[in-house]
Structure 1
């Protein structure tokens, strides 16, 4: 929005009265190009043209601080169906209720939009799910070996335990195929694992280009990992979901039931396929939406202009 000439402010919900200077420092260090002011959420949001909630918690804050009359237009950028982050109970209900506040709902991809309509009965504007096609690209057209997995044990929706069980079975089927894990450091797998920890996007592109396949698991929206792997010529295996297929249209993506044995067998089939090199090249040649398209659609939805790429569900 700054690139489009808008003056922006980041409002931090500082519910525990933490040091605002610390929060400002974190934001400035990690987003050095951002010019936006950074302030605590005020008691009233008068004086702003538009406000965007970025999670169910901030949607409640926005609803509570909106003036009774006038005030900014309220928007809600929804990247996951967030009730799924919690067991059925108080937090689930509060997260679900945030979609009923009457805000302009902007769903990242058709999967989220479909779940919003099915579970809550609300319509949303669909923004295209983008991919970083500048960083992730094909650089290796020769031999590949091994598989890769993004480990995030603290987020249940990322399917860490499902991936661990599947890769343990995969190792028994292919003991010579190296298993690469990045993200969190893992323990207790009982099979050889090459750990990369947290690596840069450039290093991650190199890892995707070295490996044949990998698991790309996510249960609340399609994972960014899948399109990035495909752009680098790595053919991922994803947990199957009809809504996810609407987001990731690359025909070389492989879908399998969320079952460790089935995921392991599917991964085995990809690794041993005779046309692996050709498949890798086809995967990398497929065009996905870029984040620039997502940004343009977001800006259009926020300012009230329509683009031909915007849809609703």
Structure 2
């Protein structure tokens, strides 16, 4: 599975299926949990290894209030050292659950995302994930229905999932799921990208900016505490307000210049630096 997807880098590591009856090797020094389900076997393992938690989102919010949400939330009380994706999670887990936390910043791979179109753009992009509630698909459709009335001549691209079975009240291009290598060409046709993030911010805003697209994102600390880049248009959760902001982006007289400036604003943001921050956090925690 890892080798078949462009989303995963080449791994120089040995993979093995964890057997709870056996546990990890006796000389294991560090044990990482990732998704909340893995935190329980990590917690129960008999090893003396230091426990870490690689937290990429606030997983209790993935579920309605009930058993799964509580089980996910309880893992933040296990005493693991958290290393989080972005500053919002680090702040939240430390302030609300007392976890020891470090974080790394989001970045962007410029080999995938770059400006290739220096002309005006008359399309927009929506990260459409109806199967992922925290991406607020239905709310996004309300936004785009209003936007389509304001700008009926602008092409609306939906990508992230095949939405052909949904009743959508405006004209759109259904791009379904795209490979990484296909995204930059689509982005470079678009002036704005609508990205709804109700928990931890998506990677898309930085990737869109690298391709010269203005990210229009719902306002909130979960997003602002991950990136305070001034080119991200943070808007309150109002369909009409977000639709108007999308229309404003399309109409900007300096659209081309701003596109280039946005890309330049993330030119120095590199995953190598994020990786270094992760390793430094890990080594610091191991030293105590």
Fold match (TM-score > 0.5)? yes
Instruction: Give the equivalent residue in structure 2 for 1:86.
Output: 63
Q: Indicate the SS of the match to 1:233.
A: coil
With 205-214 and 295-304 compared, the bigger mean Cα shift is at 295-304
Tell me whether 1:162 sits opposite 2:139 in the alignment: yes
Instruction: Give the equivalent residue in structure 2 for 1:54.
Output: 34
Runs of 4+ residues deviating >6 angstroms = none
Q: Indicate the SS of the match to 1:293.
A: helix
Q: How many residues were matched structurally? A: 278
The answer (yes or no) to whether the contact 1:215–1:237 under 8 Å persists in 2 is yes
- Structure 2 stretches lacking a partner, 5+ long: none
How is 1:231-310 mapped onto 2 (pairs within 5 angstroms)? 231-287=210-266, 289-304=269-284
Change (3 A) 1:271 1:195: same
* C-alpha displacement of 1:92: 1.4
Q: Could you report, residue by residue, the CA deviation over 1:59-78 in whole angstroms, capped at 9, with x for unpaired residues?
A: 111001233xxx22211100
Change (3 A) 1:121 1:32: closer
Tell me whether 1:221 sits opposite 2:179 in the alignment: no
Instruction: Give the equivalent residue in structure 2 for 1:18.
Output: none
Instruction: Give the equivalent residue in structure 2 for 1:103.
Output: 80
With 46-55 and 151-160 compared, the bigger mean Cα shift is at 46-55
The answer (yes or no) to whether the contact 2:81–2:101 under 8 Å persists in 1 is yes
Q: Indicate the SS of the match to 1:304.
A: helix
Tell me whether 1:128 sits opposite 2:105 in the alignment: yes
Q: Could you report, residue by residue, the CA deviation over 1:125-154 in whole angstroms, capped at 9, with x for unpaired residues?
A: 121222222211111111211110111111
Instruction: Give the equivalent residue in structure 1 for 2:151.
Output: 174
Instruction: Give the equivalent residue in structure 1 for 2:162.
Output: 185
The answer (yes or no) to whether the contact 1:96–1:120 under 8 Å persists in 2 is no
Normalising by structure 2, we get a TM-score of 0.90
With 264-273 and 148-157 compared, the bigger mean Cα shift is at 264-273
Q: Could you report, residue by residue, the CA deviation over 1:252-288 in whole angstroms, capped at 9, with x for unpaired residues?
A: 1101112212211111111112222222121111036
* In structure 1, C-alpha distance between the alignment counterparts of 2:46 and 2:208, rounded to whole Å: 42
The answer (yes or no) to whether the contact 1:171–1:191 under 8 Å persists in 2 is yes
Instruction: Give the equivalent residue in structure 2 for 1:75.
Output: 52
Change (3 A) 1:103 1:255: same
* In structure 2, C-alpha distance between the alignment counterparts of 1:128 and 1:90, rounded to whole Å: 31
* In structure 1, C-alpha distance between the alignment counterparts of 2:58 and 2:179, rounded to whole Å: 28
* C-alpha displacement of 1:163: 0.9
* In structure 2, C-alpha distance between the alignment counterparts of 1:248 and 1:304, rounded to whole Å: 24
* C-alpha displacement of 1:174: 0.8
* C-alpha displacement of 1:213: 0.4
